């Protein structure tokens, strides 16, 4: 049987999760976090969410709103209060300084540089409980959480393919293997990342802009970093290098996926959306550096043409790379006459 205190804390945690979810993905490289402060009688004192790098963390923002009313309060937080000084000070110390009596957090902080807030609070005499709605909290920041555990950016590989595994026809034409609905869905997924990555071959052949656009084709205000990797020189006039597009661009002169991810990690990139051609995709797959696969499958057959992925060094069915399907969606036509597409999401190789 639950107690009134436990019920109030669970309600507050669900509210904190709502606050965090309302912010959207623009907080990367930081996680989405919500905080609710409860008075000793269980009533609400203040609430806040983290709004992005350089802005106050959720706990600090809620404490600022509460003022002296934070003393003896219970702080309900979706992520373990941070224990380090980055762009802002440590939230664990801020909670101690404010006189908070109890802290309940959902998810342990997987970032080794920031973890330990719970122990700091306990050492300071604060009651601490963890694990309340932990799965829901982790689901708020799945790519960020996994990136922190891996020590490198989380990699989502997106591909568009025919039923027989072709990304382009024999004459090289590929517009449009995927439907309008699938392309719009791709832009939605792009917006969840902080980095778009392609190879030099894609830039030379397709000259992509790699922007994130709304259904009306208007670019979104927030754009990921546009990155091309490879050793070949590129024409600076290619659209990926357009300085008028927000978000910036970068040419990583390496063919090594690990080196590319390490360089992006140093730039605080946490979620890479891989949209390169079959050669780049194969390089990441061979290296075991694909965490998620999103495949848009069109109900068409080409029989010949460019494969969706390049050579993987697999010579027998026993050595096949198996993926775990986590979601399958039917994308209904968004325009007259177009095909229905499937979106299949899978856990990758890492």
Point out the residues that are catalytic: 59
Buried b vs exposed e over 107-122: b needs ≥16 C-beta within 10 Å?
bbbbbeebbbbbebbe
Reply yes or no: is the peptide bond before residue 29 cis, omega within 30 of 0: yes
Three-state DSSP string of 32-51: CCEEEEECCCCCEEEEEECC
CA–CA dist 185, 183 (Å, integer): 5
Radius of gyration for the alpha carbons in the chain, expressed in angstroms and rounded: 23
3-class secondary structure, 219: strand
Query: Which pair of tokens denotes residue 296?
Result: 């848009």
3-class secondary structure, 263: helix
3-class secondary structure, 228: strand
Cα Dmax for the chain: 71
Q: Give the C-alpha distances (Å, rounded to integers) separating 125 from 32, 90, 96, 159.
A: 27, 17, 9, 52
Query: CB of 125 within 8 A of CB of 93?
Result: no
CA–CA dist 332, 323 (Å, integer): 25
């Amino acid at each position: 049987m639950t107690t009134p205190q436990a019920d109030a804390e669970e309600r507050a945690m669900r509210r904190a999760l709502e606050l965090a979810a309302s912010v959207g993905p623009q907080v990367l490289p930081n996680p989405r976090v919500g905080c609710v402060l409860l008075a000793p009688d269980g009533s609400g004192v203040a609430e806040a969410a983290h709004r992005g790098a350089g802005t106050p963390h959720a706990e600090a923002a809620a404490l600022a709103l509460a003022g002296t009313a934070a003393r003896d309060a219970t702080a309900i937080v979706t992520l373990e209060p941070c224990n380090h000084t980055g762009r802002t000070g440590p939230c664990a110390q801020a909670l101690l300084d404010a006189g908070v009596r109890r802290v309940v957090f959902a998810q342990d902080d997987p970032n080794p540089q920031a973890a330990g807030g719970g122990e700091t609070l306990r050492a300071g005499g604060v009651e601490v409980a963890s694990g309340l709605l932990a799965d829901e909290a982790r689901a708020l920041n799945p790519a960020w959480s996994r990136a922190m555990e891996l020590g490198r950016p989380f990699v989502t590989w997106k591909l568009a393919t025919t039923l027989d595994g072709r990304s382009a026809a024999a004459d090289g034409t590929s517009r449009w293997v995927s439907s309008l609905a699938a392309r719009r869905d791709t832009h939605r997924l792009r917006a969840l990342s902080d980095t778009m990555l392609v190879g030099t071959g894609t830039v030379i052949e397709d000259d992509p802009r790699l922007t994130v656009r709304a259904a009306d084709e208007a670019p979104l205000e927030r754009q990921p970093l546009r990155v091309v990797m490879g050793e070949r020189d590129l024409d600076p006039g290619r659209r990926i290098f357009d300085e008028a597009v927000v978000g910036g661009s970068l040419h990583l002169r390496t063919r090594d996926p690990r080196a590319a991810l390490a360089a992006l990690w140093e730039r605080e990139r946490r979620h890479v959306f891989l949209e390169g051609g079959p050669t780049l995709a194969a390089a990441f797959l061979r290296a075991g550096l694909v965490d998620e696969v999103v495949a848009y499958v069109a109900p068409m057959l080409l029989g010949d043409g460019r494969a969706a992925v390049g050579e993987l060094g697999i010579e027998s069915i026993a050595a096949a790379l198996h993926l775990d399907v986590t979601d399958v969606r039917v994308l209904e036509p968004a325009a007259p006459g177009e095909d229905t597409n499937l979106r299949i999401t899978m856990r990758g190789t890492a």
